[in-house]
Structure 1
């Protein structure tokens, strides 16, 4: 069942990415971890304490704050801190199952990992967000201390409290996520599209034709197209 949910979630993200690519500047990669390739060594000495690191994935970009000594603080969905207080188990590398359950349960942790585990065989971009940030970065030591103070279990939201919100709060003093903003813009364009209303109506009619007319089929079949029509 968990593998099926993982597959469906990845397909949903892929469809959103394809639509976004045609409407908005392309996103650079995937949210928080891809277990396809083994970690590869990355030299930590080129980074300075307080630097903002970002790792391109498949659909989104994952972000972290460099703390020095080859360590990176980053926010990642993880259900385990909500289930156990065993620090040793929590500190183990987050699996895809833990990540998915963290997304669904809206739980995450700000954790400190090595640069190699954070990058997970991907290239790292250094302070690239500074070019488009509306505010100048805070002093490097303040950035790192903000990240260290937040280490531990936190609430998670894919749109409102993700890894990008964490690093922008630490580095610029204001939490924001351009990736989430782009996704919301795509969602609004989808709702405004008149074809979405027609598709929802056709699905509602097909459901009633296959399952029969009842409160359980007629109400969603009418309410969803009506809601989309009013919102468009």
Structure 2
């Protein structure tokens, strides 16, 4: 589509009615601010049939949410000159790779309750950043000061951990999973995930059965786990390769991962949302160190609003760092 190339390269804004006839799935569209203030431009991602992925922003707040709506329901054609801007130069400079976008991926994003964005400072940069991370494997925005450049890596780390895509039906995951893999399972609400250690024959060991006071480490079939009302039937193998690479952490041998998980079978698990959750258990078996990226995401940069944390109360006890059983 030569028209697309022209729109991107000449950096001029065009009538959206014409542009929407030429764009294709996954194109980023930059909409010019009514007062032509670049720092307040809007950004959307084109899906099809005039539908776009965009951000709903709360008044007097940094909270935003992804939504899919018709372009004409959001913007006025006569007041919204726009252009295709796929951020090609920024992507090249930052070695960003295109995602394999799909309808399911877009749907996943719209299910996130809210993002509480505190950074970058300019509204257009925030919109550009969130839309770019849908298209690419890292967030892209034009830095305007040294502070932006210094914080960029932290933002990239956040989105690397946040990656919501790549989930499959549990039957497909069970066909490719290998004993010692970590399995990340979608919950029916929010961005909080359940974690388990795959041990073979379609079975996982995880923080499962709940007693009057606490939880127990159990072995269950992946299908049985996903049938639980709090979970969906979508999951993925996630051995945290990107996190391991960034942090320099080494995983145990697969046989040792399975043996560690099996050593906890039948033991009580004193759950604590922030200090001793299902992800802590799975990563302890995998790496020998209990970490939870879901907890670490609550950073100075962002706060992903998942659910009301106050509903959980538990004793402040941990998986023993030096090995042993969960008491």
Match of residue 260 from structure 2: 146
How do residues 1-232 of structure 1 correspond to structure 2 at under 5 angstroms?
18-20=114-116, 25=159, 27=162, 42-43=171-172, 44-57=174-187, 58-76=190-208, 78=210, 80=211, 83=212, 105=213, 107-120=214-227, 121-133=232-244, 134=247, 135-151=249-265, 152-183=267-298, 185=300
After superposition, the CA RMSD in angstroms is: 3.2
Q: CA deviation at 1:49?
A: 1.0
* Partners of 2:170 and 2:235 within 8 A in 1: no
Contact 1:41 1:116 in 2 (8 A): yes
CA distance in 1, matches of 2:239, 2:219: 21
Q: Is the 8 A contact 2:208 2:217 kept in 1?
A: yes
**Structure 1 residue 67: Cα displacement:** 0.8
CA distance 1:41–1:156, change in 2 (3 Å): closer
Q: Distance in 2 between matches of 1:150 and 1:41?
A: 24
> How far is 1:21 from its partner?
6.4
Deviations, residues 19-38 of structure 1 (Å, cap 9, x unaligned): 44676648568xxxxxxxxx
Q: Name the structure with the higher helix share.
A: 1
Alpha-carbon distance between aligned partners in 1 of 2:116 and 2:278, rounded to the nearest angstrom: 20
More strand as a share of residues: 2
Q: In structure 2, how many angstroms separate the alpha carbons of the residues matched to 1:150 and 1:184? A: 31
Give the Cα separation in 1 of the matches to 2:289 and 2:201: 26
For the 8 Å contact 1:71–1:113, the answer to whether it is kept is yes
1:107-143 CA deviation, whole Å, 9 max, x = no partner?
Answer: 2221111011223443221134122123121100000
Structure 1 partner of 2:320: none
Q: CA deviation at 1:154?
A: 1.4
For 2:194 and 2:216, how far apart are their aligned partners in 1?
14
The 2-side partners of 1:27 and 1:169 are apart by: 20
Contact kept, 8 Å, 2:115 with 2:302, in 1: the verdict is no
CA drift at 1:145: 0.7
Measure the CA separation in 2 of the matches of 1:139 and 1:187: 34
Secondary structure at 2:261's aligned position in 1? helix
Structure showing greater radius of gyration is 2
Of structures 1 and 2, the one scoring higher in RCO (CA 8 A, sep 6+) is 1
Counterparts of 1:77 and 1:184, CA distance in 2: 31
For structure 1, the 5+ residue unaligned runs are 1-15, 30-39, 84-104, 189-232
Matches of 2:193 and 2:282, distance apart in 1: 12
Specify the alignment match of 1:211 in structure 2: none
TM-superposed deviation, 1:73: 0.6
